[in-house]
Amino acid sequence: MAILDILHFPDPRLRTRARQVDTVDEQLRTLVDDLLETMYQAPGIGLAATQVNVHQRVLVIDISSEQDDPRVFINPEILEAEGHEEMDEGCLSVPGIYERVQRANRIRVQALDREGEPFELEAEGLLAVCIQHEIDHLDGKLFVDYLSQLKRQRIRKKLEKQRRHGEDDPPSGQHAEPVI
C-alpha cells in the first residue's frame, strides 16, 4: 500500500472528468487500498481517485470515528435524491477551508464494491453529503464551485499564498467539520 499525493485547488487536473471502470481487478483493488490509506493518513472521511490524479470512477468513504468502516464505491450513480442538508464542508484538496454547502439530505446510490459486486445503498445526513461531494470530484467539480465567485477567488489567493510561503497543510483533524 502507498500514501498518494493529493492535488490541491486550483490544480486544473482536479477538473478532469473520470472514466467508468471497466474491470475490477487486482490493480484497481490496489488503487482502492491506496486511496483508503491516503484518506486515513490525511486524515479525512472521503477521497476520490481524481484527487490523487487517477481519473477513474472510484471513491472511498469512512465516516466512523474509529476509522473501521471503510466504504468503497466504484462507478457510483445517484438514483434518487431528496430533501436538503446544509453543513460546513472541508476538502482534502482545499486544505484549511470550511464553507457551508447545500445538498440533498437523502440519496439512493448504486455502485460496485471492492470485489466488483453491484450494490444499492440508501444514505442520509453526513454519509449522503459525503457521497455527493466525492461524486462531484469524479465529475471535476469542487465544493468551492457552490460558493460565490468572489469567495472562490479569496480561497484561491489564500491557498496560493500558503503554498508560496511553503506552509504545511493546516491539520484537518482539529476541525469538527467533515474533511471530505
Stated length of the chain:
180
Q: State which of positions 52-91 bind Ni ion (CB under 5 A).
A: 91
Show the site string, 20-49: x = touches Ni ion by CB under 5 A, - = not.
Answer: ------------------------------
The C-alpha atoms of residue 10 and residue 13 are separated, in whole angstroms, by 9
Cell reading at 75: 462507478
Nearest distance, CB of residue 133 and Ni ion, angstroms: 5
135 phi/psi in degrees, rounded to 5? -65, -35
Quick one: 14 or 31, whose CB is closer to Ni ion? 14
107 near Ni ion, rule: CB under 5 A: no
Residue that the C-alpha cell 510561503 belongs to:
165
Nearest distance, CB of residue 129 and Ni ion, angstroms: 11
# of chain residues touching Ni ion (CB under 5 A):
2
CB atoms within 10 A of CB 55: 15
Residue that the C-alpha cell 470512477 belongs to:
57
Nearest distance, CB of residue 93 and Ni ion, angstroms: 5
Quick one: 91 or 131, whose CB is closer to Ni ion? 91
180 near Ni ion, rule: CB under 5 A: yes
Cell reading at 114: 471492492
C-alpha 18: how far from chain center: 13
The residue ranges that bind Ni ion (CB under 5 A) are 91, 180
